[in-house]
Amino acid sequence: MLLSRNAPARCGYAVVDVEATGRSPWRHRVVEVAVVLLDRQLRVEGEFATLIDPVGPVGPTHVHRITQDDVVGAPRFREVAPRLLELLAGRVLVGHHVTCDHAFLAREFARIGVPLPPVPLLCTMRLARGHIPGAPGYGLAACVAAAGLGWYPAHSALGDARATADLLRHCIRTPSCARTEWAAPLREAATVPWPRLKRALSQRRSERPALVLRQAPFGPWPQGVEPPGLVRTALGGE
């Protein structure tokens, strides 16, 4: 059942990243999602991450390193959707090429009958173009390197979301970044009415879905040394 309510009093940023089974939000599915919550001062308030069972092929394993076996036992999107809505409510949605992450989330919510409201977006790729002029490119890895932020586990949703949060801090704190670039979306986010979704009927009242998290140690690693692989960790209810 879908209920409506106003956005909560808390506000800040929800830095998101999704890994998907392909490039099209209409034809492909989310296979991993992560959210890093930041307050107005860009301090971390919490994190959420899990693999998602896409109910089909996982897609380009050579890109996201997720295999079909990895999603066995992972929740379906509908099972984590109520929690995701709670995390995103009242916040600016941040991502690196954020329109892509937003499109995949919006389509997944649409599949279960939940229209996302017009949440304000903040794109770190756009910010980097204006405030990291010496970057050799504007993909996440190039921007992180140009900003001197160190190695991170690329193409894991939580690794990308954490790196994007670091990049947001770097860009906002540069002297060239005007307050209007990030303050206006905060004000807008606080006024957006936000949907709320009850737990799936398939879940018992006392249950939360078991999440499946991919983790990897941070580097940097010596040249020529392959970084350790990502580790799949089953969690209890989030």
**230 found inside a domain:** no
Query: For 192, phi and psi rounded to 5 degrees?
Result: -85, 120
Contact assessment for residue 109 and residue 30, using Cβ atoms and an 8 Å cutoff: no
**221 found inside a domain:** no
CATH of the domain at 21: 3.30.420.10
Residue in the structure block whose two tokens are 């209810």: 237
**101 found inside a domain:** yes
**238 found inside a domain:** no
Amino acid at 21: T
**235 found inside a domain:** no
CB proximity list for 141: less than 8 A, separation 6 or greater = 154
Question: What is the DSSP secondary structure assignment for residue 73, as one 8-state letter?
Answer: T
Contact assessment for residue 143 and residue 96, using Cβ atoms and an 8 Å cutoff: yes
pLDDT at 83: 93
- What are the angstrom distances between the C-alpha of 118 and each of 126, 179, 184, 190, 238? 19, 22, 15, 12, 27
Q: Residue 89: name the closest of 199, 194, 197, 238 by CA.
A: 194
Please give the residue range of the domain that contains residue 43.
8-204+211-216
Element (H, E) at 235: strand 231-237
Query: For 136, phi and psi rounded to 5 degrees?
Result: -70, -15
Per-residue pLDDT in tens (0 to 9) along the chain, 238 residues: 233 333 344 689 999 999 999 999 999 999 999 999 999 999 999 999 999 999 999 999 988 889 999 999 999 999 999 999 999 999 999 999 999 999 999 999 999 999 999 999 999 999 999 999 888 999 999 999 999 987 777 778 999 999 999 999 999 999 988 888 888 899 999 899 888 887 765 555 556 778 888 876 655 555 666 666 666 666 544 4
**185 found inside a domain:** yes
**226 found inside a domain:** no
Query: For 226, phi and psi rounded to 5 degrees?
Result: -75, 125
Q: What value, to the nearest 5°, has the Cα angle with vertex 16 and ends 12 and 19?
A: 175
pLDDT at 133: 86
Q: How many domains does the chain have?
A: 1
Q: Residue 88: name the closest of 73, 101, 75, 74 by CA.
A: 101
Q: Can you tell me the distance from the alpha carbon of 187 to that of 129, in angstroms, rounded to the nearest whole number?
A: 24
**149 found inside a domain:** yes
